[in-house]
Chains A and B, each alone.
Chain A
Amino acid sequence: MGATQRQDGIVAGRLSPEAYVENFTDAYPPLDPHEALVAADRCYFCHDAPCIAACPTEIDIPLFIRQIQAGSPKGAAKTILNQNILGGMCARVCPTETLCEEACVRELAEGKPVQIGALQRFATDTLMATGEHPFTRADPTGKIVAVIGAGPAGLACAHRLALHGHKVVVVDGRAKPGGLNEYGIASYKTVDNFAQAEIDWLMKIGGIRIETGAMLGRDFTLDELRHDYDAVFLGMGLSGVNALMLDGAEDRLGNAVDFIATLRQSDDLSRLPIGRRVVVIGGGMTAVDAAVQSKLLGAQDVTIVYRRSQERMGASRHEQDHATASGVRLVCNAMPVRGVEGGVEFEYTQETPDGLHGTGETFTLAADQVLRAIGQTYGEAPGAVLDLERGKIRVDTEGRTSIASVWAGGDCAAGGEDLTVTAVAEGRDAAESIHRALSA
């Protein structure tokens, strides 16, 4: 018998083997064919549908749902993948409640949108289960493009470039491609190694080579790339994290993104240590994912502490509900002050027109593990001299940076929300821009 949930400290093996399996299965199981047909029948096939505009990749949602209705889920998948080559991942991870489903007219009518995300997953899963890749590469153009970063932005860019017949070399500093699809997204959203399966499927277009373990700035420079390639796309994501000093708790303080990456790469969750009482500081998607997964790993008490009001949390209402339903407690309007014996001291806050202030009133939460999830930053690769905008690479509407023949997209580029689907849209659009430039 290993540790239990009530054992103090950061220890592994708090749960039974079965509990780990059960906790880390699909949080939102896929629709079966019957459920998909019932769900598809609710779509009104709106004119100039608002859901399309609400999707950063502008998938023709009414069309793909009608294709499901009409018995062609594979055709539906092609409609989706035409716009969003990572439509399978997006179907799992998009906060649809703030995107397409929020715009659904049935959300307005009944407060119950058409299940667009789930239907998208049904269609793409159906196609991918066959192994078919419904796109064919154009004749080789003789051009070659470097893509830095194999996250959603880089992958979407690479696929679109390959489709147009260009040769693509994707370079990523980590051991596996996928970016946060592989290292960041909550495990219960993307079970069964889906990130790698999707990449294998995507690579079937041909013309793409992925090199892992090589870093821009460490192993080669941007100038070298510009010299060796016809164009360069930067999709490096956010490699830095915002700092948070917490005197007296350094030994218990970790970074939520690293915690999740370790969890995602673990092949034996029972060997992953977790605190009995975990406090997550932050209010976004990362905070929720870290908190929920702490709970799933067997932490007894998990609390998210956010410094502003609940309405201002970066995590959507749906995600907040997911957290609370998983047993996570939300504490808002409180900021950490210092670590104390066995816990962390917080001060309540108040939002005033001239900013956020502590009220002077404090409280202490018991904690043997503290995870900070207060945002990531663009960590500029050494030697790159790109114009920035609010700390990220400045790009125009096509993804062109301040340097000729260099494009950028995804989290590392300014503008747009930091979401998988936005990264895909930006990668795809940059590829079209590169293609136009190379064809000129």
Chain B
Amino acid sequence: MADLRNDFVGIKSPNPFWLASAPPTDKEYNVRRAFEAGWGGVVWKTLGLDPHIVNVNGPRYGVIHGADRRVLGINNIELITDRPLETNLREIKAVKRDWPDRAMVVSLMVPCEEVCWTDILRDVEETGADGVELNFGCPHGMSERGMGAAVGQVPEYIEMVARWCKAATRMPVIVKLTPNITDIRYPARAALAGGADAVSLINTVSSITSVNLDLMAPEPTIDGKGSHGGYCGPAVKPIALNMVAEIARDAQTRTIPISGIGGVTTWRDAAEFIALGAGNVQVCTAAMTYGFKIVQEMIAGLSDWMDEKGYATTEDFKGMAVPNVTDWQYLNLNYVTKARIDQDKCIQCGRCYAACEDTSHQAISMSADRKFDVIDAECVACNLCVNVCPVDGCITMEELAPGALDERTGRVVEAAHGDWTGHPNNPGAVAAE
């Protein structure tokens, strides 16, 4: 049995699945039930200064659906907690007392003045919480007031606030990053420079999910108007994975612990974040879509997979994929594959044909009786047919062994690595020694 116990910057939890700071962690009732369901920890819904903020009283979420109304992404215009600070602190203390083995991290967002941060940190320490997360991420509402993403988009502010906080508390400080920035490495470096113990990412992506064509207004619509919100859920996972990998492989930030967030829905998503260097993961949308129980699938799935692979703890595979994230220029151009269609699995829908014929390389033939075959002399191995095929494993990519003829180029596949840096078409190529 794999050991899922997690130690993230000294914060211990029975498993690496935390609920992210959001509605699931908004109050005692939720968090107690989350812990009962098996969540390893929570990041409490972001606290602010009193008087507490207010939320809109109309709809606050928008959605992108896939087939069968499967939730692919949610967008929200919710702000931080809309309850008094005192209430939250009291509840945090009570829950932590009853659940000492679970991680209790408190998310914070106050104005960019040192006293605001030191005051609230003192209050949080009294609750017995295990750590704090600085919310520099929310892209809507709070950013208009100079907080959230407005801080997260300016590396100097991140560094400054992180430094204030580290000086003011014994608790580990996690800086939560916004993805609404061009290069995620800059805010990560700033957090590190400010002395933060870790970064967590991503917060939500600025978005308008849809436009109501009757009201001619963005959704969710509040009395005829809409505002951009923050996008999350499975749709943002690719963005989050890339940002996590960027930080994990950057020479300056590779040592900073990462809490991976963004679209984690199953154990596999979590394993992917951890393989890219995350020490644990946080989840919001999956819980909002399916309820707290989903953590049971995550725990069982991760554990089974680790057993199969022989990983005793998450540390055993943490960051293992990082060395394999590279720049395009180093990809091996001598690696040649061809699409292969398993005729026994093929259900003859012809989607591969339409995709390749209309938008790719006319490399799939179609017979009168709907047999689809790959034409090796045309196939560039783009993978589009594999992606659009509705049957898992029906179309696969087969590697051509060195020495084999690539019918498309007429060249024999070379065994040696050859990338763009040495390619004859590259004006800046360095000749191989």
List residues of chain A with CB under 8 Å of any chain B CB.
37-38, 41-42, 44-50, 105-106, 108-109
A-contacting 9-mer, from B7-15, B132-140, B290-298, B345-353: B345-353
Would you call A38 and B68 a contact (CB within 8 A)?
A: yes
A420 to B350, CA, bound (A): 30
A44 to B351, CA, bound (A): 8
Residues of chain B within 8 A of A37, CB atoms compared: 69
Residues of chain A within 8 A of B350, CB atoms compared: 46-49
A37 to B69, CA, bound (A): 9
Q: Determine if B67 is an interface residue (Cβ-Cβ < 8 Å).
A: yes
Would you call B351 and A50 a contact (CB within 8 A)?
A: no
Q: Determine if B370 is an interface residue (Cβ-Cβ < 8 Å).
A: yes
Would you call B67 and A105 a contact (CB within 8 A)?
A: no
Query: Whole-angstrom distance from the CB of A335 to the nearest CB of chain B?
Result: 39
Once A50-B370, A108-B347 are accepted as A-B contacts, the answer to whether A44 and B390 lie under 8 Å apart by CB is: yes
Q: Determine if B354 is an interface residue (Cβ-Cβ < 8 Å).
A: yes
A49 to B351, CA, bound (A): 10
Would you call A47 and B353 a contact (CB within 8 A)?
A: yes
Q: Determine if B391 is an interface residue (Cβ-Cβ < 8 Å).
A: yes
Would you call B68 and A41 a contact (CB within 8 A)?
A: yes
Residue of A50, A105, A108 contacting most chain B CB atoms (<10 Å)? A105
Residues of chain A within 8 A of B390, CB atoms compared: 44, 109
A108 to B391, CA, bound (A): 12
Would you call B353 and A109 a contact (CB within 8 A)?
A: no
A236 to B347, CA, bound (A): 41
A374 to B351, CA, bound (A): 44
Residues of chain A within 8 A of B354, CB atoms compared: 47
Residues of chain A within 8 A of B348, CB atoms compared: 46, 50, 105, 108
Would you call A109 and B68 a contact (CB within 8 A)?
A: no
Residue of B347, B349, B350, B370 contacting most chain A CB atoms (<10 Å)? B349
Q: Pick the contact of A47 from B347, B349, B391 — CB < 8 Å?
A: B349
B356-376 interface bits toward A, Cβ cutoff 8 Å, 1 = contact, 0 = none: 000000000010001000000
Residues of chain B within 8 A of A47, CB atoms compared: 349-351, 353-354, 366
Count chain B residues whose beta carbon lies closer than 8 angstroms to a beta carbon of A.
Answer: 14
A37 to B65, CA, bound (A): 12
Residues of chain A within 8 A of B347, CB atoms compared: 105-106, 108-109
Query: Whole-angstrom distance from the CB of A72 to the nearest CB of chain B?
Result: 12
9 example contacts (A-B, Cβ-Cβ < 8 A) are as follows: A38-B68, A46-B348, A46-B350, A47-B351, A47-B353, A48-B350, A50-B370, A106-B347, A109-B390
Query: Whole-angstrom distance from the CB of B86 to the nearest CB of chain A?
Result: 45
Q: Pick the contact of B67 from A41, A49, A50 — CB < 8 Å?
A: A41
Query: Whole-angstrom distance from the CB of A107 to the nearest CB of chain B?
Result: 9
A46 to B348, CA, bound (A): 8
Would you call B351 and A109 a contact (CB within 8 A)?
A: no
Name the residue of chain A whose CB is nearest to the CB of B389: A44
A46 to B366, CA, bound (A): 13
Given contact pairs A38-B68, A44-B349, A47-B350, a sample of 7 additional A-B residue pairs in the complex whose CB atoms are under 8 Å apart: A37-B69, A41-B67, A44-B390, A47-B349, A47-B353, A108-B347, A109-B391
Query: Whole-angstrom distance from the CB of A216 to the nearest CB of chain B?
Result: 42
A49 to B68, CA, bound (A): 22
Query: Whole-angstrom distance from the CB of A77 to the nearest CB of chain B?
Result: 21
Q: Pick the contact of A46 from B69, B349, B391 — CB < 8 Å?
A: B349
Residues of chain A within 8 A of B68, CB atoms compared: 38, 41
Residue of A37, A41, A47, A105 contacting most chain B CB atoms (<10 Å)? A47
Name the residue of chain B whose CB is nearest to the CB of A34: B69
Query: Whole-angstrom distance from the CB of B370 to the nearest CB of chain A?
Result: 7
Would you call B349 and A105 a contact (CB within 8 A)?
A: yes
A42 to B70, CA, bound (A): 13
Residues of chain B within 8 A of A49, CB atoms compared: 350
Residue of B69, B347, B354 contacting most chain A CB atoms (<10 Å)? B347
Residues of chain B within 8 A of A38, CB atoms compared: 68
Name the residue of chain A whose CB is nearest to the CB of B70: A41
Name the residue of chain B whose CB is nearest to the CB of A37: B69
Residues of chain A within 8 A of B69, CB atoms compared: 37
Query: Whole-angstrom distance from the CB of B325 to the nearest CB of chain A?
Result: 34
Residue of B69, B348, B366 contacting most chain A CB atoms (<10 Å)? B348
A41 to B354, CA, bound (A): 19
Query: Whole-angstrom distance from the CB of B360 to the nearest CB of chain A?
Result: 13
Residues of chain A within 8 A of B349, CB atoms compared: 44, 46-47, 105
A50 to B353, CA, bound (A): 14
Query: Whole-angstrom distance from the CB of A382 to the nearest CB of chain B?
Result: 46
Query: Whole-angstrom distance from the CB of A330 to the nearest CB of chain B?
Result: 32
A37 to B70, CA, bound (A): 12
Residues of chain B within 8 A of A46, CB atoms compared: 348-351
Residues of chain A within 8 A of B351, CB atoms compared: 44-47
Residues of chain B within 8 A of A109, CB atoms compared: 347, 390-391
Residues of chain A within 8 A of B391, CB atoms compared: 109
A109 to B391, CA, bound (A): 9
A45 to B355, CA, bound (A): 12
Query: Whole-angstrom distance from the CB of A34 to the nearest CB of chain B?
Result: 9
A45 to B390, CA, bound (A): 11
A106 to B69, CA, bound (A): 20
Query: Whole-angstrom distance from the CB of B274 to the nearest CB of chain A?
Result: 33
Name the residue of chain A whose CB is nearest to the CB of B345: A109
Name the residue of chain B whose CB is nearest to the CB of A46: B349
A40 to B69, CA, bound (A): 11
A316 to B370, CA, bound (A): 25
A38 to B68, CA, bound (A): 5
User: Which 8 A/B pairs are nearest by Cβ-Cβ distance?
Assistant: A47-B350, A47-B354, A41-B67, A109-B347, A46-B349, A105-B347, A105-B349, A44-B349
Residues of chain A within 8 A of B366, CB atoms compared: 47-48
A48 to B68, CA, bound (A): 24
A38 to B354, CA, bound (A): 24
A58 to B298, CA, bound (A): 47
Name the residue of chain B whose CB is nearest to the CB of A53: B370
Query: Whole-angstrom distance from the CB of B341 to the nearest CB of chain A?
Result: 14
A47 to B347, CA, bound (A): 12
A167 to B348, CA, bound (A): 45
B21-53 interface bits toward A, Cβ cutoff 8 Å, 1 = contact, 0 = none: 000000000000000000000000000000000
Name the residue of chain A whose CB is nearest to the CB of B355: A47
Query: Whole-angstrom distance from the CB of A104 to the nearest CB of chain B?
Result: 9
A396 to B366, CA, bound (A): 31
Query: Whole-angstrom distance from the CB of A52 to the nearest CB of chain B?
Result: 12
Q: Which of B57-75 contact A (CB under 8 A)?
A: 67-69
Name the residue of chain A whose CB is nearest to the CB of B68: A41
A50 to B371, CA, bound (A): 12
Query: Whole-angstrom distance from the CB of A338 to the nearest CB of chain B?
Result: 50
A395 to B216, CA, bound (A): 56
B104-131 interface bits toward A, Cβ cutoff 8 Å, 1 = contact, 0 = none: 0000000000000000000000000000
Name the residue of chain A whose CB is nearest to the CB of B69: A37
A41 to B65, CA, bound (A): 11
Query: Whole-angstrom distance from the CB of A108 to the nearest CB of chain B?
Result: 5
A272 to B68, CA, bound (A): 46
Query: Whole-angstrom distance from the CB of A60 to the nearest CB of chain B?
Result: 14
A37 to B67, CA, bound (A): 9
